[in-house]
Structure 1
Amino acid sequence: IQCVICGDEASGCHYGVLTCGSCKVFFKRAVEGHHSYLCAGRNDCIVDKIRRKNSHLLDFLLHRLKRYGALKALGLVPSLMFQSHLAMSSDNQALNPMPCRVGICEVQLNQQIVGILENIEPEDVHSGYDNPQPDVPHLLLSTLNHLCEKQLLSIVKWSKALPGFRNLHINDQMTLIQYSWMNLMVFSLGWRSFQNVSSEFLYIAPDLVLNQDQMRRSPIYELCMAIQLIPQEFAKLQVTREEFLCMKAIILLNTVPLEGLKSQAAFEEMRQSYIHELTKVIHMKEKGVVASSQRFYHLTKLLDSIHEIVKKVNLYCLSTFLQAETMRVEFPAMMSEVIASQLPKVLAGMVRPLLFHTK
């Protein structure tokens, strides 16, 4: 991963931005020293890992951050970390809002979509957890938080490759990821469990599989019980791989801010395209109209249920975050910023889940 300022290798997320150690020093001086920096040139200087040490170029760094939309009165906007990852493409297409129609048909032929979804599906991420005692709360929770950050990066990369997504306004891309990342993680966790283990287990990662006894002794027992409903529904409905892939794409497009999106019309068309794609793969399994309609009903009921399950996860996550120091639970930088900036909005009802069915 590169520093978004000079292009050198990033050492981490510093002050909300993925940067190298050298640029981090500048941020520290700028934020803690309350200095007002101006570009010494014409705001078109080249900043790289060789020139970054020049004093006048250090002054320019702040201007570059402002040009990225990263700073607001020396307070970093949390969503920049997503912008930096969304920008990591050869043509930087994600940074340029594109006022165009984004129906799947215009991106690829419909019959190719499921194949694309299969090709871009992320590989399982290892947790690095090596403690056989999941009832040690801070160790397990810290591991889960670090795993979530890895999975969040995978979600950003996956969303960039999702047909139609990069054509949305860049702000909409970041908003959709920020509001759906937990839903996507929980849904994918349910699928991994359905595919790899029996109903008595949760397949959190290849190196972190919890059985019933381990769940019961863990600090997240109630959450595990709620999440287990997902693989149970997968098993009950015998959900196909193609259906899962389409449903996952819909989940990315299933939570929006109350005020709507900048490219609202394009978003709605894209969402309807993936819903249509789901109906197509349903018809591959159920030939009759009645049977297909019933299956669509059950699969969309499952999609709706994800919101309630994730709400419980979000509540626990925010509660743990607020007590992190007391509980000795580690939260990586990116996770901390996402949780602090987005979860309160979600839990306060400032976002709208797009439901298929009325309760």
Structure 2
Amino acid sequence: PSSDNRRHSIRERMSSTNEKGSLSMESTKETRYCAVCNDYASGYHYGVWSCEGCKAFFKRSIQGHNDYMCPATNQCTIDKNRRKSCQACRLRKCYEVGMMKGGIRKDRRGGRMMKQKRQREEQDSRNGEASSAELRAPTLWTSPLVVKHNKKNSPALSLTAEQMVSALLEAEPPIVYSEYDPNRPFNEASMMTLLTNLADRELVHMINWAKRVPG
């Protein structure tokens, strides 16, 4: 009898321990609720904790089915019992609680996101090195220099560096003076006439310069 009592006592202690362990495990699991309708959340979807119903509804809406109209005043109550009563207010609340297309939980960004970030950083680094090398490289005329037109039928122009500099100096427009006569009265009309004539002569010289530039 004493042996049976001991075995019974051991079984009771083991059962009690298992029950406590189960309760402890259940208490560690945090219950999450849908941010839209306050139903039990099935996971982190589109940037917020949400149930399967609101997740599917938001997915349909962002795919183009969002021409909803509220039959009341756009202030309908959205909960787990009335979430289907007004699609317009339900979608509005989805956006209000932070749902967004492509929403990703920050603490669940896996290796793929980190890999893409590293690839972008490496590409930026390579681009920066290439830009630095271009800045350090001397900007010299290649001799002979070949300048190609954008027009298909225009022939290529081949000039040496010295010939190019000489041609540019020859095409340089002259200095344009105002030719103001101090003996004439200076007023608004004479000033406008002076500026107009100056601009006309400057424009003519610029056109001639553009025609004489090689290429």
Q: What TM-score range do you get, normalising by the shorter chain?
A: 0.3 to 0.5
* Higher RCO structure (Cα 8 Å, ≥6 apart): 1
TM-score (structure 2 length as normaliser): 0.33
TM-score (structure 1 length as normaliser): 0.21
**Structure with bigger gyration radius:** 2
